[in-house]
Chains A and B, each alone.
Chain A
Amino acid sequence: MAFLIGDPCVDIKDRTCTSVCPVDCIYEGDRKLYINPAECIDCGACEPVCPVEAIYIEDDVPDELRWAVADNESFFTGVLPGRREPLGETPGGSKATGRIGVDTPYVAALPAAGEVP
């Protein structure tokens, strides 16, 4: 079980969550942030600080955000566009990797706010 970030984060990326995460397991894509479920320790620091309430613990994800469970995981286990290998677990966490700068194909294809899909 881990926390995950849903689409309210898309094109917002407030990043307060990354500044409270004690294990630096929140990574920055291009349009959205992602929590590495293999590194998240379920401490819950991120959830209340998110100004757009994008963060949920896996158990409490509303139905319309179910997609984000697999999508967040695939950010780390899948091969992201322009990369040869999955990100996997990174020693030193997101502090060491810095901005990743790409998104999962699903998130990359989401319409921008106000745009009609």
Chain B
Amino acid sequence: MSALTPDTPMKRVAVVGAGPAGLYAAEELVRQDRHRIHVDVLDRLPAPYGLVRYGVAPDHPRIKSITGSLRRILDHPRVRFLGAVALGADVTRQDLLDHYDAVVYAAGAAADRRLEVPGEDLPGSCSATAFVSWYSGHPDAPAPLPLDTERVAVVGAGNVALDLARVLTRPVADLERTDMPEPVLDALRASAVREVVVLARRGPWHARFTPKELRELVGLDGVDLVVDPRQLVPLEGLEPDRTAQTNLRILTEAAQRAPTGAPRRVELRFCARPLRLLGTDRVTGLEIERTTERPGATITGAGERETLTVGAVVRAVGYRGAPLDTVPFDPARGVVPNDKGRVLDADGALCPGEYVTGWLKRGPSGVVGTNKLDSAETVALLLDDLDERRPRRHPDLAGVLDRRGVRPIGLEGWSRIDTAERELGATRGRERTKIADWPTLLRLGKGPHPAREEPEELPWPS
């Protein structure tokens, strides 16, 4: 390992995706003294922070506060944010390989897993990704469901399923303080939803949600949590892990409470799988089947069927990665094939100079901090490989973008969006209200035209 000297040649690394995995990779790349590295962090959106901004529930402000430490990474003098630049549309994989010594793909898991049952594409059926993106103010996410129905089914047993149940049932007054865009709050105020049924294929001992999320749902004012105590008897021959034991304890306590007659309720149903969504021009019901499970074996249908009268179904059975331009992709696992972060092609051969981290590397698991360790692993290999690669002189990608008429949104542009959102929030006594439409984001982000001398007066976003 050699210390940096002023003569150490500068190397350039591109990171695709400004979410936690990408930003932690950027941090690892600039906070080491083996190589002098400049990092460009590209994101297809005008705003950084990925799922911290567009996935973490708006009523979880403490987790959202991670943006404070992520911002410090973007502020590093050798890190440059290139927002509103999409790999595939604005730049190609080859462009990145031509302009950088290495590329780290950290684009996350933008797609979702499907139920693979009939009726899944009916109006009134959507993915958790679509629903979460909508209430998080993602500019590509229109309202995915009409909330004109009293009963909604959520299929899944992870924290996202509980987020959905909570957001759909908790009093809107509790959400007023969050950063949700105003049209989202309007839709939730007008919502007819009174009951959410959360369906889990397996028993509570296999639920993926965390005790913290479960406890939050149990303690929600204005919502009764309903669970059948007969479903909470642990499977014979199965030793639940610590998380499952805690979940079972919380659920058992909740099952013993008498309903308070609260205006809304959430029912948790375990060992039930969806068979088909019913309805002709929109969802009117969900046919489900009880399942049985033996330790170490896959679940099977128990034959006992039931139809739930629901006007909407949200599937929360997992995110999945989406292919990026011509980057190798494993459609079965929804990840970029890799060896500890080094990208592999279809034949399992190394793709020199290409790396992957975060959900696109390991699949959609873990929490924000999990990506720190993951990105450290990827970047350690990248730095080893850089030792072996001859330094090259690369033209700045900004020149290519400029010739193509692509104007990236830099950190200053993002700061203008950030300030506008805080100011918009302040008008209603909130810390922030998100701006969710492309034209306003782009106008704020790109700012006054460089040719103009007077700063442009920016109208309030509508």
B246 touches A21 (CB 8 A): no
Flag if A43 contacts B63 (CB, 8 Å): yes
- Check: B69 CB closer than 8 A to any chain A CB: yes
Question: Is A110 an interface position by the 8 A CB rule?
Answer: no
The CA of A43 and the CA of B215, in the complex, are separated in Å by 14
Bound: A60/B370 CA distance, A: 22
Interface magnitude class on chain B: 20 to 34
Query: Is A41 an interface residue when CB atoms closer than 8 A count as contact?
Result: yes
Q: Which residues of A contact B367 (CB under 8 A)?
A: 43-45
Known: A44-B210, A45-B369, A60-B246. A19 touches B66 (CB 8 A): no
Tell me the nearest residue of chain A to B213, going by C-beta. A44
User: In the bound complex, do residue A43 and residue B66 qualify as a contact, i.e. CB atoms below 8 Å apart?
Assistant: yes
CB neighbours of B212 from chain A (8 A): 42, 44, 57, 59
| Contact B215 A45, beta carbon cutoff 8 Å | no
- Contact bitstring A75-110, B, C-beta under 8 A = 1, else 0: 000000000000000000100000000000000000
Q: Is residue B398 within 8 Å, beta carbon to beta carbon, of the partner chain?
A: no
User: A23–B367 Cα gap in the complex (Å)?
Assistant: 13
> What residues on B are CB-neighbors of A57 within 8 Å?
211-212
Chain A nearest CB from B439 CB (Å) reads 33
A-side residues, CB < 8 A to B, are: 16, 19-24, 41-46, 48-49, 53, 57, 59-60, 93
Residues in chain A near residue B369, CB distance under 8 A = 20-22, 43, 45-46
Assuming A57-B212, A60-B211, is B69 touching A23 (CB within 8 A)?
yes
Whose C-beta in chain B lies nearest to the C-beta of A59?
Answer: B215
Min Cβ gap A34→B in Å is 17
For residue A104, give the distance in angstroms from its CB to the closest CB of chain B. Answer: 25
B66 nearest CB neighbor, chain A only = A22
A91 to B367, CA, bound (A): 23
The verdict on B452 contacting chain A, using a C-beta distance below 8 Å, is: no
Is the beta-carbon distance between A19 and B373 smaller than 8 angstroms? yes
Bound-complex Cα distance A21 to B369 (A):
5
Q: Contact between B373 and A53 (Cβ–Cβ < 8 Å)?
A: no
Residues of A within 8 A of B210 (CB): 44
Chain A residues within an 8 Å CB radius of B350:
none
Write out the residue numbers on chain A whose beta carbons fall within 8 Å of the beta carbon of B366: 45
**Using Cβ atoms and an 8 Å threshold, which residues of chain B touch A49?**
370, 373
Contact B373 A20, beta carbon cutoff 8 Å: yes
* Residue in B65, B215, B367 whose Cβ sees the most chain A Cβ within 10 Å: B367
**Residues on the B chain within 8 Å of A23, using CB:** 65-66, 69
CB nearest neighbor in B for A41: B62
Bound-complex Cα distance A57 to B65 (A): 19
Minimum CB distance partner of A53 in chain B: B242
On whether the beta carbons of B66 and A20 are closer than 8 Å, the reply is: no
Decide if B372 is an interface residue (CB 8 Å cutoff): yes
Q: Is B167 an interface residue (CB 8 A)?
A: no
Does the CB pair B62–A42 fall under 8 Å?
yes
Write the chain B residue with the least CB distance to A19: B373
C-alpha gap A15/B63 in the complex (Å): 21
Q: Would you give 10 A-B contacts (Cβ < 8 Å), ordered by A?
A: A16-B373, A19-B373, A43-B63, A44-B210, A44-B212, A48-B243, A49-B373, A57-B211, A59-B212, A60-B246
Are B63 and A20 within 8 A (Cβ)?
Answer: no
Cα–Cα distance between A20 and B368 once the two chains are bound (Å): 8
In the assembled complex, the Cα of A60 lies from the Cα of B63 at a distance in Å of: 20
In the complex, what's the smallest C-beta–C-beta distance from B177 to chain A, in angstroms? 17
Known: A22-B20, A42-B62, A43-B66. 12 other contacts (CB 8 A): A21-B372, A22-B372, A23-B69, A41-B62, A41-B63, A41-B65, A43-B63, A44-B210, A45-B372, A49-B373, A57-B212, A59-B212
Bound together, the chains give a CA A67 to CA B62 distance in angstroms of 25
Please name all residues of chain A whose beta carbon is closer than 8 Å to the beta carbon of B66 when the two chains form the complex.
22-23, 41, 43
B376 within 8 Å of A (CB atoms): yes
Among all A-B residue pairs, the 9 with the closest Cβ atoms: A45-B369, A20-B369, A41-B62, A22-B369, A45-B367, A22-B66, A22-B368, A20-B373, A19-B373
Q: Are A20 and B242 in contact (CB under 8 A)?
A: no
A21 to B372, CA, bound (A): 8
B370's partner among A20, A24, A41, A42 (CB-CB below 8 A) is A20
